[in-house]
Amino acid sequence: MKALVIGSGIIGLSTAHVLQEHGLTVKVISRDLPQSTTSWRAAAVWFPYKAYPLEKVMEWSRISYHYYHNYLDRPDTGVSMVSLRILESIDAAKEWLEAVPSEVKKISGTTLPKGYQEAIEFEVPLVDTSYFLPYLLTTFLIKGGEFEMKTLRSIDDLDYSEHDWVINCAGLGSRQLVNDEKMFPIRGQIVKVKAQPNLGWIAAEHGPLALSYVIPRKNEVILGGTAEPGVEHCDIDPEETKRILERCKKLAPGLNPAIIKAEVGLRPGRDEVRLEREGDKIIHNYGHGGSGFTVCWGCAEEVAAIMGLGGEQI
Ligand SMILES: Cc1cc2nc3c(=O)[nH]c(=O)nc-3n(C[C@H](O)[C@H](O)[C@H](O)COP(=O)(O)OP(=O)(O)OC[C@H]3O[C@@H](n4cnc5c(N)ncnc54)[C@H](O)[C@@H]3O)c2cc1C
């Protein structure tokens, strides 16, 4: 069986991998190389954020959490498990904490930033996108996958006789590709600073420091962030860079703010992830908002289930 996957962000590449594992011959076509996608710019820590419906997102997240364990013992993947601290009470985080399979520790006391009384800490997968996306593309090619850079004006441009299945993983590009007016950008600016030792992984989604996160990686630290629904431009806002640094210094007082660069990505926002079959051959898998890395493996398994290759539809 032959499948064509549109998109080489995390959703396209994870889908392509899972379909290869099910024995399909897979081709990926994409307007961009992975390093020019939104996925490349993600902090890429496992955390359900701005993706719906919650019930399905929780299940996809649970599956993906376990799936990342397949990559842990290979350093070239850039996948690791880290202890993430979220400045939020257990009660406030109840809805999504159910998807966390690891032990959740409650933190309280004077070590927390001003304005926060409680925090939670648990083990999560962290993906260094600059390792993992090239790793996925390379291993996909080694396993016989084909990759073509091409921009589609419409999904109708494709020659369907060549493929048994077409999986649309074009993220925000689906707005034009399939005329989906429900798609909207959620602009996110981050700042990369120099790597430094002894820094923890910490985030505040609510409260006085929202939205902020400090995510150390091997070669840099990602500082975030913003989430601006409907804002489409990718220009760096220098004032926002300053505000991100200020918030992050309060979040992690030992932070050395030696800037490497700032970056912007447009999250593919939608009221609900679109993961469904259309007609005989097309399966849509897009609109994962701020959770692409958190849900991708669960979604890819669901694509396989829709094709009748095993597993269950959620
Ligand atoms: C600042 C920031 C921080 C984030 N942090 C996290 C996080 O910590 N955890 C998390 O889980 N998620 C995070 N996200 C969200 C995550 O990045 C997205 O959910 C994810 O990247 C979406 O992946 P995608 O493959 O659908 O889209 P993309 O990465 O945008 O890929 C879309 C692909 O489709 C292709 N394409 C589009 N249109 C066409 C066309 N017409 N023809 C051919 N190809 C086309 C593109 O070239 C690209 O290859 C963050 C996002 C941002 C911006």
To test the pocket of ligand 1, the residue of 31, 45, 152, 296 to mutate (highest count of ligand atoms within 8 Å of its CB) is: 31
| Residue 228 tokens, joined | 């601006």
In angstroms, the CA 253 to CA 187 distance is 27
The confidence score (pLDDT) of residue 99 equals: 87
Average pLDDT of the residues of the chain:
96
Residues 116-139: tens digit of each pLDDT: 999 999 999 999 999 999 999 999
List ligand 1's pocket residues with C-beta within 6 A.
6-12, 29-32, 37-39, 41-45, 47, 151-152, 169-173, 177, 188, 190, 224-225, 265, 267-268, 286, 288-294
- Write the residue with the smallest CA distance to atom 31 of ligand 1: 9
Enumerate the β-bridge partners of residue 127. Answer: 79
- How many helices (H) and strands (E) the chain has is answered by 8, 15
CA of 312 relative to ligand 1 center, distance in Å: 25
Enumerate the β-bridge partners of residue 260. Answer: none
Residue listed under structure tokens 């600073």: 193
256-268 burial: b if 16+ Cβ within 10 Å, else e? ebeeeebebbbbb
In angstroms, the CA 266 to CA 220 distance is 21
- Is the pLDDT at 109 greater than 90, yes or no? no
Q: Output the CA–CA distances (angstroms, integers) from residue 168 to 14, 85, 97, in the order listed.
A: 12, 34, 30
| Ligand 1 nearest-atom number relative to CA 33 | 49
In angstroms, the CA 184 to CA 62 distance is 26
To test the pocket of ligand 1, the residue of 33, 37, 172, 285 to mutate (highest count of ligand atoms within 8 Å of its CB) is: 37
CA of 9 relative to ligand 1 center, distance in Å: 5
Identity at 216, one-letter amino acid code? P
Contact 68, 127 (CB under 8 A): yes
The confidence score (pLDDT) of residue 95 equals: 85
CA of 266 relative to ligand 1 center, distance in Å: 7
SS3 state of residue 158: coil
274-292 burial: b if 16+ Cβ within 10 Å, else e? bbeeeeeebbbbbbbbbbb
CA of 36 relative to ligand 1 center, distance in Å: 10
User: Which residues have C-beta within 8 Å of that of residue 219, sequence separation ≥ 6?
Assistant: 130, 195
Contact 136, 14 (CB under 8 A): yes
Contact 80, 68 (CB under 8 A): no
DSSP state of 52: S
CA of 4 relative to ligand 1 center, distance in Å: 18
CA of 286 relative to ligand 1 center, distance in Å: 9
Percentage above 90 pLDDT, the chain: 94
- Is the pLDDT at 314 greater than 80, yes or no? no
Interval 21-49 mean pLDDT: 97
In angstroms, the CA 125 to CA 44 distance is 9
In angstroms, the CA 222 to CA 146 distance is 32
The confidence score (pLDDT) of residue 228 equals: 98
| Ligand 1 nearest-atom number relative to CA 51 | 19
User: Which residues have C-beta within 8 Å of that of residue 140, sequence separation ≥ 6?
Assistant: 13, 16, 17, 20, 26, 28, 147
Lowest mean per-residue pLDDT among 155-159, 271-275, 284-288? 155-159
| Ligand 1 nearest-atom number relative to CA 190 | 1
| Ligand 1 nearest-atom number relative to CA 34 | 49
Q: Output the CA–CA distances (angstroms, integers) from residue 187 to 50, 184, 252, in the order listed.
A: 12, 10, 24
DSSP state of 64: H
User: Which residues have C-beta within 8 Å of that of residue 40, sequence separation ≥ 6?
Assistant: 9, 34, 129, 130, 133, 265
The confidence score (pLDDT) of residue 110 equals: 79
The confidence score (pLDDT) of residue 98 equals: 87
- Is the pLDDT at 311 greater than 80, yes or no? no
pLDDT confidence of 53, banded at 50, 70, 90? Answer: very high
Domains defined along the chain, listed by start: 2-306 (3.40.50.720)
| Ligand 1 nearest-atom number relative to CA 153 | 41
